[in-house]
Amino acid sequence: MKIIVDIPEETMQEAMHFAKTKSRKDVVKVVIAEFVQRRRMARLARTLRPSGTFMTHAELMASRKSNRLK
């Protein structure tokens, strides 16, 4: 798909730097893919319910310590 977009030059250069690409076309592809991935992860996080089976940080550290002693 082809589109015409007016993006400030400084913003485009910074995006190209972070995406480690030299092509404007490639940086737009990377940015859109990352945007979609973040939105999918956010949607997934909203649909999952917190589990009561997760360990606290302190429980995890205690478990690791007792496993090392065995």
pLDDT (tens digit per residue) in 20-49: 999 999 999 999 999 999 999 999 888 887
Q: Which pLDDT belongs to residue 22?
A: 93
Report d(CA 49, CA 52) in Å as an integer: 9
C-alpha separations of 53 from 31, 47, 64 in Å: 36, 17, 17
Average pLDDT on 11-18 reads 96
Q: Which pLDDT belongs to residue 14?
A: 96
Spell out the alpha helix ranges (H) of 1-70.
9-19, 24-47, 57-69
Q: What predicted TM-score, i.e. pTM, was given to this entire model?
A: 0.62
How would you class 66 by CB atoms within 10 Å of its CB: exposed for 0-12, middle for 13-18, buried for 19 or more? exposed
